[in-house]
Every structure is written in C-alpha cells, then in structure tokens.
Structure 1
Amino acid sequence: MKAVLSRGLVLPLVTLMTAVLTVLYAGAPGAQAATATDVSGIAQALRRSPVYVDPAASGQLSAPEARALAKKIKDAGKPVFITVLPAGYPTSRLFTDVRTATGITGVYAIRLGDRFDARADSSVLPRTAVQNLVTSVQGESAAKQLNDFTDRALGNAGGHAPASWGTPGGNVSSTALITAAVVLVVGGSGAYALLRRSRTRREQEQRAALERLRVVVDEDITAFGEELDRLDFRPGEPGADDAMRSDYARALDAYERAKSFMAAAQRPEDVKAVTQELEEGRFSLSVLAARREGRPLPGRRPPCFFDPRHGPSVADAVWTPPGGAPREVPVCAADRARLADGREPLVREVDTEYGRRPYWDAGPAYGPWAGGYFGGGLLPGLLMGTLLGSMMAAPAYAADYGSGYGDFGAGGYQGGDVSGADFDPGDFGGGFGDGGGGDFGGGGDFGGGF
C-alpha cells in the first residue's frame, strides 16, 4: 500500500475522502429550508435535496408534503428540482440564474404564488415535453400540481440523480465509501492502462470516421463553389445596390470559412461548423436572387432534408421512410413536386461498407454533418426511426461525435451531471412564454402571463 501511495496518489485519495465526508455530513435527507431567499440560497438547498420551499411560501407546501415529494424524487433517481417561492419573488432571469447557480443538468420547476412554470436541459427532457407537462397541471392546487408534475416528469426525464443528494432512502455507509476509495486507489494503475487503450482506440475510430466524412463534406463545398461560379452577378453591375453586395459578400465569406473549418477539422464534430457555413451561404444566395428579381425576401428555412445541396427548402411535406413513421420534412421545390406525384425524392446517398446508402443510414459521423445544416431542434423529428437517429439517442454518442444536435438525450452532460455554468441557455427551455434563454417569458413575465 505504501508503494501505491508513493506514486503521486496521495492527493487524489485525500480529494476523494473529502468528497466522501461531504456526502456523509451534507445533512439529513428531505426538503431543505433555508432562511436565505436569494438565488444562491435556493441553489445551495437544491444541491442538497430536490425540493426547496421558501420560508415565506411554506403555506403552499407543508414540511411533511415537501419531505414526501423529495423522497419520491430521490427514490426515482431522476434530476427533477422543485422550488416553491412567494408570489412577490422577482422573476427576471429566474430560471437561468437558478440553473446556473445550482450547476446541475436537470428539470427545474417553480411554483411562484399561484403560478407555475418549468424549464429543462434538452439532454434530460425535450422542450416540447416540458411545455406539455406544464400545460397538463395548470390550475391545480400547489400540492397536487407539484406532485402531478413530478410524477409525469419522473416518467419522462432522462439522466440520474446528482451525487450530492446521497443515495435513495438514507445516508451512505461511511465504511463502504472508505473501502471503495481504498480499492479505487489500489486498482488505479490497472484502470488507467485500460482507459488509455480505450482512448487510443476511440481516437483511431474518430479519425477514420472523419476521413470518410471528409469526402462528403468536400463534395458539399465543391458544389457550393460551383454555384458561386455560375452566379451571374457582379458587384459593380448596373442595378446592384449595397444590400445585394452584402448578400454576395456573405456568401463568399461563408464559402471561405467552410473551406478553412474543414481544413482544420480534427474530429467528426468539427464538421458541424462547416455545414453551418454552407447553409448560411446558400441562404444568402437565395436572398440575393430575390432582391435581383424584385421578389419578397424569403424567410429563413432549413435546407432540403433529402439533400442540403438543393438549397433552402420552400415548404414542409409529409414523407415516410421505408419501415418508418410519417413525418414532415423541409423540401425543395423539385422534391415537393416529386413527392406530390408519388415519386421518390432525390436523396443524398453516400458510400458505406454496405454500398451507397442515404446519409441518415450511413453511420454516426453524419450527426454533426446534419446538425450543422438543420440545427439542433429539427433533428429529432426528422431522424426518428432512422439508423442515425437511433445512434444519436445512445448515451455514449456525445463522447465520440459531439453534442448539441437536438433532444436525443445525448448531450455532453447527462441529467444529474454537474455542469456548473457550462450550459447553453437557449438549450434550457420549455414551459410558457419561453424567451429562448430559459427566462420567464423573456422579459420577467412569469409563465407568459399566468
């Protein structure tokens, strides 16, 4: 044992034992009541227990009710946080600030007076699901509302309870934790060797995936470059104005950035920035075309689902993949006409070890590729039931191919993980009057007027 401890492992052991003691003496389980009503006080309480009732709002949820609710959440092992506040509590940025201060990925619900709302990290619960759950409990009494929301959220939420809550049903055995710590230290050398081999193998797989993906992305860049070459526009031509020149410049800049990002790509997830630029460039060209032809400027729409090289979509059309469920997908004019005639759309196929396949059946590396074109919010609905959609829903996907492609439950941080302030407020949504930043209605309006 002395030999093991002499190899630079004393500090990690001390750190681990400190964490053990923190868990053991964090306090009794159940709802925590703090005298502080500021965000820091709320966050400190939520890190210890899933339910916080402000002393000024204790009439809404009694102490026994709060303890029972907290036990229900802890027994389920899901990262659901419930806060009860008095009616006059300031609402501006409340959800974002509480989530930032607590620092744990999860579902956050707040009862404020007789109003109720919720937000969640999309890796735990999709935005639409949060909105539906909030709607389903509006108008109920405090105890019934909080219990009904909790029951439904626990049945839908992903992830795990944060370690700071301890184990369901009571405190952790100090003997068990200390024994586990010693075993971890003794076995550290072997575990490190296994981890190193696993990491090397994963890096090799990522490099191979990037090289296969590079062929497709280079085709995309080349196709966009050819569009620019065919464009019959000169900044100094008669009739050209500053707006047209700006559109043209944006398209050229996007093309150059796409080439630069691809040249610097090291992992499959780096490709997302490339396809984002190509999508931006093609939209700029569509705006330029409308200005030159005197048409109304087009609204921002995603590219054609079947092949982003077709350019921005013009409508949504119902499409059913072989063996899958119907769904609406954005389509270009040509593919909309083909679908209306009962013909197959012109699908982007890529090379795989099984021959040419649609990109959504070609492998996991196409998640970042599609994410750049379609944005995170669209992908789950577009890819449901496909091979790529199933892969992106796997918990390990983000470690290999990145995160942020939608509500697949595969973010870099899973529910219950400590992310601190490392989260995208735009990806923390749901509830009513969502202002895109996890705030109450975007302007301090709790629940969008409820």
Structure 2
Amino acid sequence: MAAEPAAHAASGSGSGIPAVADALKKNPVYVDPRASSQLTSSDAEALAKKIKDSGKPVFVAVLPAAPEFPPKTLLQDLRAEVGITGVYAVHLGNGFNAGADPQVMPHTAVLNLTGALKRSYGSDTAGLLNAFADQADQQAAGHAPDSWGSSGGGGGSGAAIAAGVVVVAGAGGGYALYRRSRKRKAEREQAALDRLRTVIDEDITAFGEELDRLDFNPSATTSDDAMRRDYEHALDCYDRAKAAMAAARRPDDVQQVTEALEDGRFSLATLEARRSGAPLPERRLPCFFDPRHGPSVRDVEWAPAGGAVRSVPACAADAARLADGEEPMTRTVQTASGPQPYWDAGPAYAPWAGGYFGGFGGGLLPGLLVGTMLGSAMSAPYAYADTGPGFDGGWDNGGDGWGDAGGPQGGDYSGADFNPADFSGGFGDVGDSGGFGDFGGGGDSGGGFGGGDW
C-alpha cells in the first residue's frame, strides 16, 4: 500500500501558489516549510487524516506572509489552480480566511464559522484549523477528490490506450458515475436519518411521558366534550408521530413527526386551560430554545454567540430565566464536536426544526436562526425545496445533497469555473511580526469572508 503523501511540503518542490495547489491535489493539508512553526508535522498529518476520514472536499494551507502569496487574490488563485470544487481554508502569516463553492457550503455558513473561530482561537493555529475542519467536515456537501487516493502519473502510450478506452466505455462510465452518485446520496441520507432518529426518539418519549403524567379521566363528570376532543387529539398525534418515525426513510420524513408532536403539545396546552378555567392559549410557535417545552407564551430578545439580537418565541420558564440574566434551557444534540445547541449542529437538523417551526405562520425559522449554522444552511437559495411553508423537499445543492441537481459536486474537477466572489475578502495585517490580523467587522470586499479580514 502506498504511503500517504506528506502534509508538509519538501524544500525545492516548486514555489508559490502552483506548488501549493499541486500539493493540495494530492493531500488535504499543505504546510509551507517557512510556516512550520504555525503547525507541526504531526499536527498537520493528524489534520490531514481527519479530513480524509471524513471523505469531504476540505483543503487547508498554512503559508508564510510572502510576496508569492498576495493576500488580495490568494484564495481565488488557489481555487483556480487546484480546480476542485470544495472548501478552502488558508492560514497566511498570522491571519486566517476561508472560502467555498456554494454547492459545497453556503457563503454565510463559511462567513459565520470563520468569524467565530477567529474570535475563539486567536493565535492557536492548530486549534483553529482543527475546529474549522470539524465543522466543515460536518457541513460540507460532496466527496473527497479521487486524486487524494491515487498516485497519478501515466505516460504517452498509456494515454493513447486510455483514450481508446474512454471512447469505448463512455456510456458505461456515465452510468457508473450515476450509480455511484445515487449510492452516495443514499448513504448520506441514511447517516443523517440515523442522527435524527436519536433526537426524534427523545422527543416522542418526552411527549409520551407528558401524556402519562396528565391525570385526565375522559369519563369523569368534570370532563366535557371539548376536553375529550383535546385529549383524543393529543393521543392521535402521539400515535401519528410514532408511525411517521417508523415509516421514515429519508431525513425529510422526520418533519411529519415533529409536526405531529407540535400539534399534540398545543392540544395538551388547550386541555390544561379548559381544566383550570384559564383563557384558551393563542396558537403560537413552540419554545425556540427547546420545542419540548411546549407552546411559547411570548417573544423575548436573544442573540446566539457572536450573533445579532433577535426576537424569538419562549416558554414562560425560559422567558423568566432570560429576564433574570440566566441562560435558557437549550436543546442540545450530539455532534462530532460534542453536545451543541441544535441551531449549531449542522443542516441535518433542518427537517426536525422545520416540523416544529414551519408548520404554520409562514415558516419563520430561517429568520429566527440568522447568524447560526442551521440558519445559514436554510437561508441558502438552493438549500430547500418547497413542499411545505419554508421547509421540506430536500437538499438540492449541485447534485451532492439530498436533491439531484446537475453541475460539479464537491470533490469534482471544475477547473476555473467558479465565482471569484466566493473566494475573496478584505485584508489586515498578515505579517509574521504582527498580531492575529486586522479582522475588520465583516468587510464587504468582493463578498468577503468571516470577520472580513485576514
């Protein structure tokens, strides 16, 4: 078995962007010898292995602040030289920036992630790059380029033979690629559904426990027809949620489950009001922080970490916590980076959230989630189709999500056919003697990236 290409470059193997691009075609991580103090050989190899194991088209370069790496055009030029659709991250001198083809990762997701990591990791290059890879591996669509696992090469007579094979096997090769694409799509859907199943099972169990604690007797003299209807509807919703989850075959199918649970919890809230003599509740969105808390009672001001303040629906308990200066009881889910709030756990949770927040009122969740990873994915124009108000359908991002649109997928060779605005940005101090760059506030230089500057 051939040895894995070294993540660090060897001296004398070329210079400038072409040399970096040539190395990245063979391995996901490149460290220029002059920048070896930023990322050790062992750290670079571990990072490269992590990316390869994820099977995603994520490219990382660690470079010195040198004339052959002009900051203003570095990302665009590197993307053009490599020619592979993917996510590109560059640590240049003491600065950091990233870009991505939109069919692989939404522009806003790259911007939010890059900015957050700059603020969190400062001059910890290894920590920053590993955190970026963890999130990009989780969010990026596409597959690792074939060149990472091949030795390349091939001479004159071999090329002539290969040309003949292409002519004879063209149609068969196209069908093979189609089958491979369909297989990968099915595998991705199954992996996403498996992640969602754990969360959904927790939700169904929690609703069942609410029903068990209810202490409602439909035949009691204090029960009227309206109460019985509410109770029966809640039971029906519980059964509908269980049946929908048992029948789920694709990630999008779980939206029916959370729609049923949301509907059932509103019936329980209505039943409780009838039994206590309180005014019937207004039909509102569930609690934003954890839909298991039931219908919200009012909107509160809240901001995600590093994001802008917005108005979100909250249950009475979470509204009180925020009013007292405490953190709300947020729903977290397991990710490769450990427990995370559902809005920072990646686009796989969009159908789950869509059932809770998209079932009525026009599908408000993308607006509530602006500035978060899930919000970035859902706000992308290609992210979701339209079989529900704002949700459902499937990922349709250039043929490598859950949909089947054409065009190059992440990891496919696309040459210089890309939008340079997706690989540009402002610049600050990237000199080796400076601080961690002059990271301006979301600069807008040609569609700049996370935090704006290097």
Q: What range is the shorter-chain TM-score in?
A: 0.3 to 0.5
Going by fraction, where is helix more abundant, 1 or 2? 1
